[in-house]
Amino acid sequence: MSPPHRLRLDCAALVANWRWLQRQGGGAACGAAVKADGYGLGAREVVARLAAAGCRDFFVSTWAEAAALMPLPAGVALSVLHGVRPEDMAAATALPARPVLNTPEQVRRWREAGGGACDVMIDTGINRLGIAPGDADLLDGLAIETLMSHLACADEDVPQNADQRDALLAVAQRVPHRRLSLANSAGVCLGPDYAVDLTRPGLALYGGLPRGEAAGHLRQVVFPEAQVLQRRRVPAGASVGYNATWTATQETEIAVLNIGYADGILRGFSGTGRARVGDATLPFVGRVSMDLVAIDATAAPGLAEGDWVTINYDLPAAAAASGLSQYELLTGLGDRFERVWSD
């Protein structure tokens, strides 16, 4: 039986966002980050849809994520961002995916296993993952498909962006590679100087707004929906929910939704979240519970037990309402949702 909450996923919006990001990159190829199960949408479904639209380069974090995507659509390449631990080597040599080598130890391990085609991450200043530019000699003779780096502050206008790009271009002079890659979603918005050969957006594909330049160009992809479990009338002076944080100032119609923080609608939405049915906006009241959310249904007199409402999940607005990042809003969406693509 289908669960009482579902994610409606808009394939046309996903593909339109990818095409917009591709255009921003000038002549660069546009890939897609699909780690964390496609940012919560379902990686296999995202890969199938973007591959059909022409996307050829996908990125996950771990080999478990890579294995879960097999078999890949024809003509598609997959890179594993966290490289190879000893316990990854069996998967890394068997699966049709490339490791992104991040440390001298990973480079040594990959060479000893035969050193097939790989990608390499250069650390140009984020100080998270990657080979230091000063260690680039360690890469001699590797079959490097994509030489890449990652921007720390692409969502800000700071000199570090150009510094990181220049540092990557300098390493690229010395290290043979087939393609160069730097930009995530926000990096794509910095312009074609940052796109080089291949971009790696994630957030913006899924409707997140990485920088102001993208406003008005990206479409919402993810629409959480939940069913009404009970409708009730509460009198003035009565409270709703745990710890009685909301009290009715007048008689109020309440609808209780079959969704909660265990689904990723976190407690930061208490008192600030919104649901929608037709043209009516229905504010969350009281605390979000594990499996339930109460809304003021006064504006929707016909809304009844079993009806569906849509949770407002425009990512920049929902981030402002909840105090969560747009990334957390996507990756926190729980396993209980039925994921329903509109295509």
The site map against ligand PLP for 190-229 (x = CB under 6 A) is: ----------xxxx--------------------------
Nearer to ligand PLP, 81 or 175 (CB): 81
Interface map 71-110 toward ligand PLP (x if CB under 6 A): ----------x-----------------------------
Contact 110, 101 (CB under 8 A): yes
Residue 206 among the catalytic residues? no
Instruction: Check binding of 150 to ligand PLP (CB under 6 A).
Output: yes
Check the CA dihedral 13-261-332-322 and report its sign.
positive
Asked whether residue 211 is marked as a ligand-binding residue, the answer is no
Indicate the helix (H) or strand (E) that contains 18: helix 11-24
Q: Is 290 annotated as a binding-site member?
A: yes
Give me 343's structure tokens. Answer: 């295509």
> Can residue 32 be called a binding residue for ligand PLP (CB under 6 A)?
no
Are 343 and 48 a contacting pair, CB within 8 Å?
Answer: no
The correct pick among 7, 13, 33, 221 for binding ligand PLP (CB under 6 A) is: 33
- Give Cα separations from 339 to 223, 252, 257, 280, 333 (angstroms): 10, 33, 18, 24, 10
Are the beta carbons of 308 and 276 closer than 8 angstroms? no
CB of 288 to ligand PLP, least distance (A): 26
Catalytic annotation, pick one of 39, 194, 206, 242: 242
Interatomic CA distance for residues 299 and 336, integer angstroms: 29
The distance of closest approach from Cβ of residue 146 to ligand PLP in the complex, given in angstroms and rounded to an integer, is 11
Shortest distance in whole angstroms from residue 93 CB to ligand PLP:
23
Cα distances (angstroms) measured from residue 343 to each of 15, 192, 213, 298, 325? 11, 32, 29, 34, 28
242 tagged catalytic: yes
Cα–Cα nearest to 87, from 107, 58, 63: 63
Catalytic member of 35, 39, 206, 261: 35
Positions touching ligand PLP (CB under 6 A) are 33, 35, 81, 150, 184-185, 200-203
Query: Looking at the annotation, which residues are catalytic?
Result: 35, 242
Please give the annotated binding residues for substrate, written as ranges: 128, 290
